Amino acid sequence: MKNIAVIGAGTMGNGIAHTFAQFNFKVHLVDISEVSLEKGMYTIARNLDRMVAKEKISEADKLQTINNISTFTSLKEGVSNVDLVVEAATENEALKTKIFKNLDEFSNEKTILATNTSSISITQIAAATKRPDKVIGMHFMNPVPIMKLVEIIRGYNTSDAVMDTIVSLTQAIHKIPVEVNDYPGFVANRILMPMINESIETLYNGVAGVNEIDTVMKLGMAHPMGPLQLADFIGLDVCLSILNVMYHGFKNPKYAPCPLLINMVTAGKLGLKSGEGFYDYTESRKAEKVAKMFS
């Protein structure tokens, strides 16, 4: 298994492509937008430059990694003759279902189809294909080149052979696979998102300010990043989407998103990627914060 297609050149997609390419896999990075592909490749090059500066990799390693990535705007071309597809599009159930129908049609029948979804049912996504035994969840953490964890989620019909293959592949890129079952939010977000939501509720109710809430969690709970800053980093729209999946999946009001979160997303304040969330991100500060996250 040496040929990988990654669908989506955004934050997660370019990070996944970077990681596979760094371990000498041949990667097809696919996005319908040429601009998104250019931005994705720029991000990969910039992050590799940081790794060179920190002497984690050599200049030759950087060039080899970039040369291992080819970009495509055609899904059909991008997924032909690959062993694995990792879908990393927006966390939207309808969109992912449509993509998987197309992946099932365009890719080789032996190709494994993985989704980087952070909350949506693998079984439901697999039902859009004629190969549910070859559909699996690979939930990478952000930033992908740095974070070691990959949640491996088995759908109802995922075969043992596919599970074993993906676990081995995850280890081959120096990540740590953790197998979990297919329930809304899986493990990471089932625990993380209620904490983030409760932090937003704490702010919404006037218990404390943004800096105070994050400082308590960093100093008192030894978290490397406060929950509100982490929400900004993840994307408030993504947080809202995951909470809605859990709220509707479990029918439990404890997962209902805070009204402040809903309003901020409606207003376009999505966190780091929009320039404003719980914190203010000017271009200079944005670059500084991203650099620190990769340090």
Residues at the annotated binding site for NAD(+)? 8-13, 31, 91, 96, 118, 142, 273
Alpha-helix runs per DSSP H in the chain: 11-22, 34-53, 59-67, 75-78, 93-106, 122-126, 160-172, 188-204, 210-215, 221, 227-234, 236-250, 259-266, 283-293
Pairing of strands 135-140, 149-154: antiparallel
* Whether the Cβ atoms of residue 20 and residue 282 lie closer than 8 Å to each other: no
Mutual orientation of helices 188-204 and 236-250 as an angle, nearest 10°?
A: 110
CA-based max dimension of the chain: 55
From the list 114, 119, 113, the residue with the least C-alpha distance to 91 is: 119
From the list 180, 71, 63, 65, the residue with the least C-alpha distance to 122 is: 180
**What type of residue sits at position 115?**
T
Alpha-helix runs per DSSP H in 23-159: 34-53, 59-67, 75-78, 93-106, 122-126
Catalytic residues: 118, 139, 151, 189
